[in-house]
Structure formats: structure tokens, C-alpha cells
């Protein structure tokens, strides 16, 4: 399953000091780790309402994007960049927190529903498509759906943080496969930890 190469990686989160290190900001954390490895830095891009970095590849560039629109309207930022650079949904990878996976679990998948994730809902609406890649990083579930908002807006417990950090580090090992569109190999390596 070699697919189209990725041209945009969007990490989801909320801007601002009070959201740093919260479960909902795992997408930002993942992108920061990748940017450090690739030796690129983010800068504000007003037209995309986000922080952007460009990764130069031999055959195409990959944009890294941290929307600064707040989670629930992430699609405004993702959609603006996609329209500007004519990037189709199949060339987009979204990194996000996942309540349905235990802390430390990480799954790569294509398409599907949003699982109630407001950031994904916004992106699906703005792209008019569910056909984009997702890297789902498990944060666990509080056990009561009425506690979800408070839960994702707080940092994980220390033992959860260590598991999540390990999963993010493990996922960095498949970046080169993801970048070239070899998702079958990336999933095999990622899902057999």
C-alpha cells in the first residue's frame, strides 16, 4: 500500500501557555519533536492561521503545521494551507490525541470517522473529505464522557506521560516511510512494537 507522498503534516492542539503539555496538545508535541529531528523551525504564517515549517525533500516539500485557531476550528488552518498549495486530502497526515487508545498506544490509519474529536470534525468539514491519514496517539479515557473536556485539557499523569513520550519516540522511527508514502511498511513497523 504505497500511497501518495505526504505534503502536509498537521499536529493538533490549542495555542497558549495554559494548554502546553495537555493531552489535547499531543499533536503539537509530536510536531515539535519531528521539527527538532529535521532541524527545521516554525514561524507564524498569517494566511494559514498557524505556525509552519517547510521540510525540503528531493522530489517535493512537506509542510508542518500547528494551527493557531484553537482545536475546534483546526480545519480553517489546514484547509487554507491545502487550498494555497493545492494539496489533496490523501496527502495530509493529522496527528491527534485519541481517547479510545490507552496511553502509549499509537495507530496510523487512513480515513474513517472522527470519534467525536472536534479537531477532526473541523478538518473533515473544511476539506469536505474524511480521506486523510491520521496518527492517533492514545491518551486514554476518563471513564465518564462528562469528564472528557476537563480530562483532555489537563496534562497526563507522570506514568501516562512516560508511555506517551515513548510512543512518540517510537513513531519518529517510521517518519521516513511516512514521508515517502510507504504507509504499509510504516504501519507494520509502528503497530508491532
Domain spanning 8-191 has what CATH number? Answer: 3.40.50.1470
Catalytic annotation, pick one of 24, 117, 154, 170: 24
pLDDT in tens, 59-81: 889 999 999 999 999 999 999 99
* Cα–Cα nearest to 179, from 113, 119, 93: 93
Question: 183 and 177 in contact (C-beta within 8 Å)?
Answer: yes
Task: Check whether 19 is labelled as a binding-site residue.
Answer: yes
Q: Can you give the pLDDT at residue 59?
A: 86
pLDDT in tens, 137-186: 999 999 998 999 999 999 999 999 999 999 999 999 999 999 988 999 99
* Cα–Cα nearest to 118, from 4, 12, 34, 8: 12
Task: Check whether 85 is labelled as a binding-site residue.
Answer: no
- Alpha-carbon span 155 to 61, nearest angstrom: 33
Q: What 8-state DSSP symbol labels residue 2?
A: B
- Would residue 24 show up in a list of annotated catalytic residues for this protein? yes
Task: Check whether 84 is labelled as a binding-site residue.
Answer: no
Question: How do the domains of the chain map onto residue ranges?
Answer: 8-191
* Burial of 176: CB neighbours in 10 Å, binned 0-12, 13-18, 19+: exposed
C-alpha cell at position 109: 490509519
Amino acid at each position: 500500500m504505497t500511497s501518495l507522498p505526504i505534503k502536509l503534516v498537521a499536529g493538533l492542539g490549542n495555542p497558549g501557555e495554559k494548554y502546553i503539555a495537555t493531552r489535547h496538545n499531543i499533536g503539537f508535541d509530536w510536531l515539535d519533536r519531528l521539527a527538532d529531528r529535521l532541524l527545521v523551525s516554525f514561524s507564524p504564517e498569517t494566511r494559514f492561521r498557524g505556525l509552519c515549517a517547510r521540510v525540503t525533500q528531493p522530489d517535493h516539500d512537506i509542510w508542518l503545521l500547528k494551527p493557531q485557531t484553537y482545536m475546534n476550528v483546526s480545519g480553517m488552518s489546514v484547509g487554507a494551507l491545502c487550498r494555497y498549495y493545492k494539496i489533496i486530502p490523501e496527502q495530509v497526515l493529522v496527528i491527534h490525541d485519541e481517547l479510545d487508545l490507552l496511553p502509549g498506544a499509537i495507530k496510523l490509519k487512513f480515513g474513517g470517522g472522527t470519534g467525536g474529536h472536534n479537531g477532526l470534525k473541523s478538518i473533515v468539514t473544511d476539506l469536505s473529505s474524511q480521506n486523510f491519514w491520521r496518527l492517533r496517539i492514545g491518551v486514554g479515557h476518563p471513564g465518564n464522557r462528562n469528564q472528557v473536556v476537563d480530562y483532555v485539557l489537563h496534562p497526563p499523569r507522570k506514568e501516562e506521560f512516560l508511555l506517551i513520550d515513548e510512543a512518540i519516540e517510537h513513531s519518529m522511527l517510521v517518519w521516513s516511510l511516512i514521508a515517502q508514502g510507504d504507509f504499509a511498511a510504516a504501519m507494520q513497523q509502528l503497530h508491532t512494537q
